[in-house]
Structure 1
Amino acid sequence: MCSIFERTIYPDPESEKAIMGSVVYCIHHKEGCQWSDELRKLKAHLNTCKHDAVLCAAQCGAMIPRVLMQDHLRYTCPRRRANCEHCGKEFSGSALEEHQGNCGHEPVYCENKCGAKVQRRHTQQHVQQHCSKRLVPCRHCGQRYTQDTVSAHGAMCSRAPVPCPQRCSAAPARDELDAHLRDHCAAGTVLCAYRDAGCRFKGTRPALERHAEESAQTHLSLVCALAARQARQLDALRGAVARLGASSSGALVWRVADWAARMADARAKDGVELVSPTFYTSQYGYKLQASLFLNGNGAGESTHMSVYIKILPGEYDALLRWPFAHTVSFTLFDQSSSPDRACNIVESFVPDPTWKNFQRPSKEPDALGFGFPRFVSHEMLKKRNFVKDDVMFLRVKVDPSKIVAV
């Protein structure tokens, strides 16, 4: 008797026969099964179809196609028994998966990326003792380099010993070679310490020591001669510096600062003289200097301020005309706040060619010079602004025109 379900699908025997006789493909046709037959034979086929999934034969619970069962039992079944390909020990499938990646016999690449493959259990030993990329200290300087570069470093290491090029027995560090050659090498040629003074000795270091002991007197003479030459050079340099800083226009504006203190000093002591910077009438002209007695000199002592001019020995005196014949004028500036109301004091003179003061000076110039002992009275200094902010300005001008200021 047919069931209700069968009667629903197959309403009559003829329909059932027609349907069950239909030719169909295996439901695993896409997986590769080539079976094709009547529908009524499909169920029997599936009981043997190698592509149909069945429970794992090892009872791991997985549904595995028959065609893959052997691979599953051999490689993926958690309940399979298998040996590690590296150490040979037998494990269950799940234990083998945990063991893989931790097996001490498995070859792995060096963590320093040297390219070597070593068993996992030997990696630490390899890194410490055999790896070409391990860090090792240079035996000369102590700096750390990889094993494959430390030799190249040693060829240029600054602390590596090198043979002395003078072939002495020493082997100084590379960075100390220059100092060795300069200060210590017994085979090198050295110069005498007094070579700048003129000693021409040249020999080995032991010979230099003997030379120093035997030539002390000679060296002393050389040093004395050098000191004399240097003193002359210094004098020449001082003169050159003085000429560069000196006026060469024939005029000097002399700024006398600390006037009150200087005046007090002049009144307390006799003959206190202030001297100006030197100046020239031209680049190659006469060399001159002014002097000032704030408390007076000679006829102006204690009542007037005295001014003088001196002719000093110059570098170009041999080319100049003598006696000196230029007009000399002194101007004491009134520092009034209104220039239009200023009243300067001016005195000048034309040198007499018979005066000794204006002949060509010797190495020792005239002690006083020539000028005005009563240039301006102390009373006059108080009446106007000749001294302002404790400063006084005095101009000395030399003019070849022989025009006298009145």
Structure 2
Amino acid sequence: MSLETDGGIPSNSLQFKSSFRNPVGKPNFVSDPKEENRCPVCQSVLSNAIQLLCGHHVCQDDIERILQRSKTGTCHVQGCAMVFTSQDIFPDVCKRREISNLMVYCQYKDLGCPEKLPWKDLSKHESVCKYQGRQCEQCRQVVLFSELEHHISNTCEQREIECQYCRDRIIVSTIQNHHDSECRLFPVECPNQCGARDIVREQVRSHLAECPLQKAVCPFVKHGCTFEGSDEQLEVHKKEGIVTHVDLLVNGKIATNQEYGAALADMKAMLDKVIKENALIPKLIEENEKLQKESKANKMSIQEMKKVLASNGERVIQTGRKLEDKASVETVNKLQQEVAVIKGVVQESNKRMSNIERSGMTVGYDGGGQPNATANVEKQVGLLDIRMSELDLRLQLQETVNHDGVLMWKLKDYGRRKRDAINGKTLSLYSQPFYTSKYGYKLCGRVYLNGDGTGKGTHLSFFMVVMRGDFDALLPWPFQLPVTMKLLDQNGTRQHIAEHFMPSVTSNSFKRPTTEMNVACGVPCFALHSKLETETYLKDDTIFLRIEVDCKNIPALY
């Protein structure tokens, strides 16, 4: 059952609740609040003031943190240091109202709002304040809500406008760069400065083919000649540069032959390497085939082992269920009768032995070499003691059967059992069965210490299982009783982790069982490991799990 809280402090420890609370947040106060209105712990303006016995006030959140660490706290006001517990404090509604009436500025003051109003009215005002800012989704700039539409349409640097030349949609902040380098229809001057203007950028190449100032390039440029000039200068260069061009061709040929020789040597070395590697390919193929066969055999062996393990695991689970199941009331009565008979026999044997001892006989052998009566009695008493101990143990187990719809499960060796779950040895554990009444539903708990489904690896998963019982034919189906599941707090602070659910009428988990038990139903993400594995819930390597079934509305069976 979950605890009701007031601002995060458990109500069962403070024994009060207050509906009046200060507004959320830290506003901009018109004047600096008085020292008496400040929390001595966090030094901020009091939030949801709690009064101590000494008369001083503390924020409720600070009180919560103090009492979570220890059962007692000390007043932080200088010169006071009064010790208090959760029973010595209470919410000061008067102080809370005083704080809520302090004058504050609207948060849109910097945008022009002149309002000064009580803190309690701030939220209502800001929801309709005409100065409230809105962030432009394009440029992320905050502007007045009333000016947002104008900003988006006319002043936002990230709005799109149409280029006046190419008619493409361009962001305002990039329009200049678009004109300078991208726009295909933007008018530019001739790169050769021939005087031609307003040449469309995409037609510059065509213009250069006809431009009178376009420089001609020497045909031997690919061989290394760097001459550029007019057509007339190019003709003169061709005639006067014959020797130079021949030298370029010869040098280029020599360099090409050298490069060819080096490339040929590299190709030969690569060819030798490829030949060597090709010689290894058959061997590698043979080894690969061998490894594939071994891998296939290993996979088959693993599958067989998994089947065997699954079969053995199911047998272990079924055996565990049978061992954990409790006998009927008739069996308990029978055991009690047997214990009573054995106790009577033991008492009678003790009387007989006492009579024999009083008659003066000693333990040992008589004159005929046979054991005397006392030795026989001692043997019988020893055997009866052993039998009575066994029956007492069985009776104790039968008497632990719960018929009130409550399972209290003490789970020891948590660390080892969780490692087994992680390693896949034992994924889940079953509890002993319990009943909703003497002739009611038969149930049990199931837990995955390393989680199941969405909680695997991060949470403890906790489920309830409906089992096949002796009186199922008399019970209403499907199972429809409210269920509460808990991980119990071992520190005494009652910070239990709890989940509540009402069984679904359509779920197969709550229909009348046709096998030993139905599919489990519960909470895969019941308790986070990092929270569970603290001293609050885990002590002496032990946790306590509890299932409570509300049995109030079970109809009479007869």
Please state which band the TM-score falls in when normalised by the shorter chain: 0.3 to 0.5
> Normalising by structure 1, what TM-score?
0.38
TM-score normalised by the chain length of structure 2: 0.28
Structure 1 or 2: more strand by fraction? 1
The structure whose RCO (Cα within 8 Å, separation 6+) is larger is 1
* Structure with greater Cα Rg: 1
